[in-house]
Structure 1
Amino acid sequence: MANFTKKEDRPLQRLLPAILEAGKLFLEGYHAPKEVRHKGLVDLVTQYDTAVEALLKERLAESLPDFTLIGEESDGEEARAERAVYIDPIDGTTNFVHAIPFCAVSVGVWEDGRPVAAAVYNPVQNELFTAERGGGAYLNGRPIGVSKEPKLQQSLVATGFPYTKVEMGRDFRWVVASMERLLPHTQDIRRLGAASLDLCYVALGTFEAFYECNLKPWDVAAGILLVEEAGGRITDHLGEPYRLGAPIVVATNGKVHDALLERLADYEEGA
């Protein structure tokens, strides 16, 4: 792994100007009329998704030239590299289209299979979450940390519904079965529609936990580091260390993690 000795040389400092510039274009698009296309039956994309991604790729190619840039709108989900920057130009595009202010630009920098820097920026709410490995997690420059709640019953849990729900196959059955098993044993469950921000809100202590199936690398590449640096725990549904591409991500404050895992349905058997 590279050793960035000067602050200005570290990946986080090198990506921040780009993500702040992208946020201006994002905010412009949030308030403007949009051209909406369908990538799938319910999976939306706008001209701002592609424009924000293009801007980020251009700027990050200059500031992080030794990294492979992998974006949601222009690269395959199986794309991998030893040194990679995963870009989600607008996480929560459905919210973006409907003017629901829970959407963000998400950029995660990975080296040797681990996240080393992350930024998630919601310019609508003026929330910039940042982290770098070993340096803590921050919201608008202020340190943040996970909730100290020890009981699942008193926990506010976030989740999401995958686009594959329309197929009514294994993902759909797992979502419904997990909700049935988990909901009575929580304070409540929220579904806000942007995984990167769900993870940030676990890091912030707003949510005690978040879980979801069938997420792509750009959905979680930044949020994973934010949770870890805020003192939380990230695994797959079996309690093993999370790897990009795993079918399920589980993020918690660490205190309710095992109890949450026990309540999730068996994904391998299709719920």
Structure 2
Amino acid sequence: MTDAHRRAAVAERAARAGGAVARQAFRGELAVETKADKNDLVTESDRDAQRQVVSTIRGEFPNDAVVGEEDAVPLGTPGEEVEILSEVPTTGDAWVVDPIDGTANFARGHRTWATAVSAVTDGDIVAAATYLPTTEDLYAAGAETGTRNGNALAVSDRGDPETFAAASVGRFERGGGAGLGAIAGATVDLLGDFRRFGSMQSTLAFVAAGELDAAFSTYTPDPWDSLAGIHLVRRAGGTVTDLEGEPWTPEREGIVASNGEAHDAVCEVARAAASR
């Protein structure tokens, strides 16, 4: 097995393992904490799931860097913990982890949340897995192709942007209603219909599977919220760019992911929303 295949296999295994830990606590008694604001939530399940993801990865790649949202992860040996970086290194091998993407949904008992893991080498995504434990759907991609539950991933073939179902991805803080309203308004005015799921990684996986035609963010989200989904869309035959339609990189503004059939139209919607 090549290194690339190993990383793809470990991403799948780690996402499943972390998601299984979180699922055990889903709709149970949760201790919910807040971070940046009242709606930026974290639970002990986030930490437990991240510990399982990181432990799974370290079993195969003990020296790789780990990037994620939560704090350093204690492992089984007393005093041993794994440092969690907040930025993806531009050189070397790293893993980007979101143990529960959509914690606000998870804490409310809503089914749309995911465990996402991606492998990065020298700043490039080489493998990714997004696992939705409540539906047991595993979206995965390696160096060339992607799958959902073992079947080939493929974006939708819809070509008329007026028929597109498009989703907004990203958080909106209290007081940010005008921004969300602009996004919804631009989408409905220029495309077909608007969606918002509360889990960026799940939403991007839906684009990769053809369940949505497009998704976009007017700002560049954190890597743990986005990298796995970006890789899935690309490997499913879709297109991922910045707001201007240039190939996406972490330095570019915004994310626009689509089936590629009317990508310019989706970029126009994203730019219109950003300017309102």
Q: Which amino acid aligns with 1:257?
A: H
Deviation at 1:22, TM superposition (A): 1.6
Partner residue of 1:166?
174
Q: Distance in 1 between matches of 2:64 and 2:50?
A: 16
Helix, strand or coil at the partner of 1:264: helix
Distance (Å, rounded) in 2 between the aligned partners of 1:242 and 1:118 = 17
What's the CA shift string for 1:67-100, capped at 9, x where partnerless? Answer: 2111211245335342211000000001101111
Distance 1:81 1:30, change over 3 A: farther
Which residue is equivalent to 2:211? Answer: 206
Show the 5 A alignment for 1:43-192: 43-74=40-71, 75=84, 77-82=86-91, 83-134=93-144, 136-163=145-172, 165-166=173-174, 168=176, 173-192=178-197
RMSD (Å) for aligned C-alpha atoms: 2.1
8 Å Cα contact 2:131-2:137 kept in structure 1: yes
Matches of 1:69 and 1:78, distance apart in 2:
9
Match of 1:14 among 6, 10, 13: 10
| Distance in 2 separating the partners of 1:250 and 1:206 | 16
2:200 aligned partner: 195
* Cα distance change, pair 192–267 in 1 and its aligned pair in 2 (3 A): closer
Give, in whole Å, the separation in 2 of the partners of 1:246 and 1:174.
20
C-alpha distance after superposition, 1:41-78 (max 9, x if no partner): 21000000011111211221121234211121124533
For 2:120 and 2:272, the matched residues in 1 are separated by 30
Amino acid paired to 2:50:
E
Q: Distance in 2 between matches of 1:145 and 1:158?
A: 18
1:114-157 per-position Cα deviation (integer Å, ceiling 9, x unaligned): 211010001111101110011x1101111120000011100000
In the alignment, structure 2 segments of 5+ residues that lack a partner are: 72-83
Deviates more, 1:17-26 or 1:125-134: 17-26
d(CA) in 1 for partners of 2:53 and 2:214? 30
1:254 Cα deviation from its structure 2 partner: 0.3
Aligned to 2:248, what secondary structure does the other structure show? coil
How high is the TM-score relative to the length of structure 2?
0.87
Taking structure 1 as the reference length, what is the TM-score of the superposition? Answer: 0.89
SS of 1:86's partner is strand
Q: Which residue of 1 aligns with 2:81?
A: none
Quote the sequence identity (%). 29
